[in-house]
Amino acid sequence: MLLPTPKKFTLVAGAAEGATPLNAFDNALLISGIGNLNLVRVSSILPPAAQFVESLDIPPGSLTPTAYGYITSDRPGEQIAAAVGIGFTDDTFGVIMEWEGHGTAEQAEAEVRRMLEEAFRARNLRLSHMMFKSAEHRVERCGCAFAAVALWY
Amino acid sequence: MLLPTPKKFTLVAGAAEGATPLNAFDNALLISGIGNLNLVRVSSILPPAAQFVESLDIPPGSLTPTAYGYITSDRPGEQIAAAVGIGFTDDTFGVIMEWEGHGTAEQAEAEVRRMLEEAFRARNLRLSHMMFKSAEHRVERCGCAFAAVALWY
Amino acid sequence: MLLPTPKKFTLVAGAAEGATPLNAFDNALLISGIGNLNLVRVSSILPPAAQFVESLDIPPGSLTPTAYGYITSDRPGEQIAAAVGIGFTDDTFGVIMEWEGHGTAEQAEAEVRRMLEEAFRARNLRLSHMMFKSAEHRVERCGCAFAAVALWY
């Protein structure tokens, strides 16, 4: 028996300030709607036949396999961003890529798009379509930008 | 079917020297009593109704969801510390925060306390009480301070 | 009920170039034969009685507990390497160590060997034998060296 393979997914993103980097991260998760889950970080495959669901509806504390990117910064004025993307095939698994860094949400998504295109070339798979989610943030004192694909059952 | 949500928890902490940073980490885990488990790092919710148990009694190699903070240093004389804390509500999930850095165990716990207070304000939840565990260490050659909340079943 | 403890293991390693560090990582995973799985990083115990299997044969997207080391670099000409090793006992669990850095695969394995010897001394366990896997890479533009012990069922 394997660990169960996730059957559902959604994309979330958010940005926030916090008193510490971990609080900013926690607040960005809350804004993203997944702040009360136990994220288990995974690299980075959308299981075959996984179904898109608009929003998570699982109990607090659930162990939630999640592919995510994030950046925290305590330099006032800095523009930070994070994005995730999923590349889909017509009939098998998909690939998830994430990016975080300095820039806008639009730039972050453009980076993820290029990463997905390379990931599909490397697998010799046909890329049928993509989904993206991103967040950007201008740091006041201590901020975090976060983007994730959450996987569940 | 979700991954099973943990039902038990404990707090552990420890510090140690090692020949390499990873050995120092491994030795700090052994001193903490969780060195023979497979830690799966999670962010950072205490599931509702989880029960405090004084010590873990699970077989070696068990996959163990764990929220942790740690720091390694190879600068002799440096004072390092790590702390975890849990903020409890009266009737639902709790929040786990961790801190690691330069300072004493007391300072590490004070940081975690402030982080928990902010996490509860952000959730608009009433903080009923807190638990902490921390470790501090004066580096000889290569050291690690580690603190964790382990979750199991 | 605990999360199920893995019953099988294999060692993999690989190195690759990529347009970004995450693509280089993804490509190194593909070359290692585990690029289409969801790696869940664990620290770092081989469960008792786990059985060596030459290659993984699990479906894409499977949640796969994995102990791994990796390094990415975008400095052309740099020599990078990653290695994993498993130290076995005669009758109980084993210990996994990983190393990543600048050097050759041979140097990486020598580091892991020393780390395993220390890990067994720290546990007062007799080290019966070891297995290693490593990869090295001369960076062209952006490269990754990766080595892992994957655990499954």
Task: Please report where in the chains the tokens 């970004």 appear, as a residue.
Answer: C20
Residue A98 is predicted with a pLDDT of 98
- Full 3-state SS string of C75-141: CCCCEEEEEEEEEECCCCCEEEEEEEEECCHHHHHHHHHHHHHHHHHHHCCCCCEEEEEEEEEECCC
Q: Once rounded to an integer, what is the mean pLDDT over residues B39-51?
A: 97
To test the contact with chain A by mutation, choose from B1, B2, B91 the residue with the greatest count of A C-beta atoms within 10 A, namely B2
Residue C148 is predicted with a pLDDT of 98
Q: Is C32 helix (H, G, I), strand (E, B) or coil?
A: helix
Residue C1 is predicted with a pLDDT of 72
Separation CA A37–CA C81 (nearest Å)? 36
Give Cβ neighbours of residue A39 (< 8 Å, ≥ 6 apart): A29, A64, A66, A68, A148, A150, B42, B43
Q: What is the pLDDT of residues C63-100, one digit of tens each?
A: 999 999 999 999 999 999 999 999 999 999 999 999 99
The residue annotated as part of the active site, out of C43, C54, C55, C124, is C43
Q: Once rounded to an integer, what is the mean pLDDT over residues A138-143?
A: 98
Mean pLDDT, chain B, as a whole number?
97
Catalytic site positions of A: 38, 43-44, 98
Separation CA A61–CA B130 (nearest Å)? 18
Q: What is the pLDDT of residues B94-111, one digit of tens each?
A: 999 999 999 999 999 999
Residue B79 is predicted with a pLDDT of 98
Residue C44 is predicted with a pLDDT of 92
Give Cβ neighbours of residue A68 (< 8 Å, ≥ 6 apart): A39, A41, A82, A84, A98, A146, A147, A148, A149
Residue C2 is predicted with a pLDDT of 87
Residue B78 is predicted with a pLDDT of 98
Separation CA A108–CA C20 (nearest Å)? 13
Residue A114 at interface with chain C, using a CB cutoff of 8 Å? yes
Q: Which residues of A touch B97 (CB under 8 A)?
A: 22-23, 26
Of C147, C24, B142, C39, residue with least CA distance to A118: C24
Residue B76 is predicted with a pLDDT of 98
Residue B36 is predicted with a pLDDT of 98
pLDDT category, B1, cuts 50, 70, 90? confident
* Burial letters B2-27, b for 16+ CB under 10 A, else e: ebbbbebbbbbbbbbebbbbbbbbbb
Catalytic site positions of B: 38, 43-44, 98
Maximum Cα–Cα distance across chain C: 50
The residue annotated as part of the active site, out of C27, C32, C44, C73, is C44
What's the predicted TM-score (pTM) here?
0.97
Q: What is the pLDDT of residues C37-58, one digit of tens each?
A: 999 999 999 999 999 999 998 9
Separation CA C129–CA C87 (nearest Å)? 6
Residue C3 is predicted with a pLDDT of 94
Q: Is C44 a catalytic residue?
A: yes
Separation CA B112–CA B84 (nearest Å)? 7
Of B4, B65, C46, B12, residue with least CA distance to A41: B65
Angle between the B21-32 and C105-123 helix axes, to the nearest 10 degrees?
A: 20
Q: What is the pLDDT of residues A49-97, one digit of tens each?
A: 999 999 998 999 999 999 999 999 999 999 999 999 999 999 999 999 9
Of B3, B149, B19, B6, residue with least CA distance to B84: B149
The count of residues in chain B is: 153
Distance in Å from the first CA to the final CA of chain A: 16
In chain A, the residue whose alpha carbon lies closest to the alpha carbon of C29 is: A43
Q: Chains meeting B at 3+ CB pairs closer than 8 A?
A: A, C
Give, for C18, the enclosing helix (H) or strand (E): none
Structure ipTM: 0.95
Residue B75 has, within 13 A of its CA and on its CB side, a CA count of 6
Residue A1 is predicted with a pLDDT of 72
CB atoms within 10 A of CB B104: 14
Beta-bridge mates of residue C83: C99, C134
Q: Taking 90 as the threshold, does the pLDDT of residue C140 lie above it?
A: yes
Angle between the A105-123 and C21-32 helix axes, to the nearest 10 degrees?
A: 20
Q: Once rounded to an integer, what is the mean pLDDT over residues C121-141?
A: 98
Residue A13 is predicted with a pLDDT of 98
Q: What is the pLDDT of residues A99-130, one digit of tens each?
A: 999 999 999 999 999 999 999 999 999 999 99
Give Cβ neighbours of residue C118 (< 8 Å, ≥ 6 apart): B18, B19, B20, B23
Q: Taking 80 as the threshold, does the pLDDT of residue B48 lie above it?
A: yes
Q: What is the pLDDT of residues B65-93, one digit of tens each?
A: 999 999 999 999 999 999 999 999 999 99
To test the contact with chain C by mutation, choose from B3, B17, B22 the residue with the greatest count of C C-beta atoms within 10 A, namely B22
In chain C, the residue whose alpha carbon lies closest to the alpha carbon of B27 is: C122
In chain B, the residue whose alpha carbon lies closest to the alpha carbon of A3 is: B3
Residue B6 at interface with chain A, using a CB cutoff of 8 Å? yes
| Interchain contact, C38 vs A65, CB within 8 Å | yes
Of B120, B106, B121, residue with least CA distance to B46: B120
